[in-house]
Chains A and B, each alone.
Chain A
């Protein structure tokens, strides 16, 4: 079967940006087309990953608006909303469009504009994904993280410091990412002394509120070299999407993300690869606890052992399995619809040798994008061009 190739990638600076969502999407889209030397008029499909442009800034209909701004009409277009995993779901939609033969050239652009809202307002927009019995109690995504972190630490006898070390590691990685919102190291003491947000988690256990955009260009692998040399593209070896319960407390084991387990099994099977084959991974560390849960549910480590890997430096950039070389959502930032796309951008950069001072030795990379608190997940396994 002809695989789908990613032949171009781009991302804007993440952080507090002057532009609104369409400006950000346009910047990333234009840069992505330039990266592969493609004209927008060649696009068959154009997807936009975005969670809440209507709620954040009162702008809807952004896929068509972007198609017009980029002169990509009459390309087919659609918005992909899967909350925080809108980016991963967009990767799935873009992959599907090419793999099915419906499109010979697809661009995916993910983006979100959030920082003009207060933290309380942005938290409420995101919390609106919760079930009514959760929402009416004031349950937020950070509070899910606090509840789960306590359960994890008690169940697996993990030290609180191990969560802090995720933040320290990812901030250290973010220093070398020119697109990251925070390019500043933090020490463990700072993390552990920061204000409580959702006990036992503190400020530095959480990603920031972010503006930004990222884009990818996809085509059949059989024609990839018509656009770029073989060492400048990657292939989607396997991709899987899955859901877990909407109501978080109904899960049999709240420290297991079923959507991560199920989506990764699909992706591994499609790729003919397993967790031991992965050389570098970008995980959805919206909260530090999520890096433990995903690293276990993806099969990298035994259940309850993910914290030990961080303690032992296994997931450091120079470790056996580097995780979040980009700085992760924690340091790079989390513009909701862009994050899953930016994860793939990082793996694309690593597998094509374009990661600069973040570069690691890697032939196989994985991105895991999580929506809600594990409600929706897309896992993508990528290989360097063949």
Chain B
């Protein structure tokens, strides 16, 4: 696995955690699903991803675009990886049409929803992140 911090890459990182037993999760947790310590970070931008399911949500909360097409995507971490599937949920860029199995690539967005419009305290979390763009 690569270490984006060591690479000196200033671009936003799609940060997943690697644990001592080899498993990887997104988002990172203090320990892995089997209780193993976190030992590193990987950048999911470096891996191929495909849609496993999607929805177009029309009843969106305050500060969220409407409609809001969302997808759960699964990353291919290669044949050497034998841990649980590594997936992420995110908005589909430009609410583009996607289907199950479609390859997608992450694209960074500075602000995914209006932090001041919803119930959650704006300073309690980050609001940037990665949308998924279909690969032509």
Contact = CB atoms under 8 A, between A and B. Distances in A.
A262 B43 CA distance: 34
B63 to A, nearest CB: 8
Interface string A120-139: 11011101100111111111
Contact of B58 (A121, A133, A136, A198): A198
Given A142-B57, A199-B55, A124 B27 contact: no
Interface string B43-76: 0000000001111111111111100101110000
Contacts of A249: 72, 87-89
A128 B27 contact: no
A137 B113 contact: yes
A201 B119 CA distance: 25
A147 B119 contact: no
Given A136-B129, A150-B100, A250 B61 contact: no
A195 B66 CA distance: 14
A150 B53 contact: yes
The interface centre, meaning the residue of B64, B65, B85, B91 with most chain A CB atoms within 10 A of its CB, is B64
A154 B54 CA distance: 12
A248 B89 contact: yes
B34 to A, nearest CB: 13
A143 interface: yes
A195 B59 CA distance: 10
Contact of A196 (B53, B56, B112, B126): B56
Given A128-B119, A254-B53, A137 B70 contact: yes
B84 A250 contact: yes
Interface residues of B, number: 41
A119 interface: yes
Given A55-B119, A197-B58, A249-B87, A151 B27 contact: no
Contacts of A151: 52-53, 100
Q: Which range holds the interface residue count of chain A? A: 35 or more
A196 B124 CA distance: 32
A102 interface: no
Contact of A119 (B59, B63, B85): B59
A252 B34 CA distance: 13
Contacts of A199: 55-57
Contacts of B105: none
B90 interface: yes
A197 B67 CA distance: 9
Interface in A150-189: 150-151, 154
B41 interface: no
Given A128-B120, A248-B89, A197 B53 contact: no
Contacts of B27: 131-133, 247
Given A125-B119, A250-B84, A137 B90 contact: yes
B85 A140 contact: no
A199 B53 CA distance: 11
B113 A136 contact: yes
Contacts of B62: 120-121, 124
B120 A120 contact: no
A146 interface: yes
A250 B59 contact: no
B81 interface: no
Contact of B127 (A124, A136, A147): A136
A206 to B, nearest CB: 9
B59 A123 contact: yes
Nearest to A255: B53
Nearest to A143: B57
B125 A198 contact: no
B91 A132 contact: no
A251 to B, nearest CB: 9
Contacts of A148: 53
Given A150-B100, A250-B25, A250-B84, A138 B59 contact: no
A197 B71 CA distance: 15
A137 B84 contact: no
B59 A120 contact: yes
Interface in B95-121: 100, 112-113, 118-120
Nearest to A127: B61
The interface centre, meaning the residue of A121, A135, A136, A154 with most chain B CB atoms within 10 A of its CB, is A136
A154 B100 contact: yes
A375 to B, nearest CB: 15
Given A128-B119, A250-B84, A133 B91 contact: no
A137 B59 contact: no
Contact of A138 (B84, B100, B112): B112
Given A137-B90, A138-B63, A254-B72, 4 more contacts: A120-B59, A123-B61, A124-B119, A127-B61
Query: Which 5 pairs across A and B sit closest by C-beta, in order of nearness?
Result: A146-B55, A138-B64, A124-B61, A132-B125, A151-B53
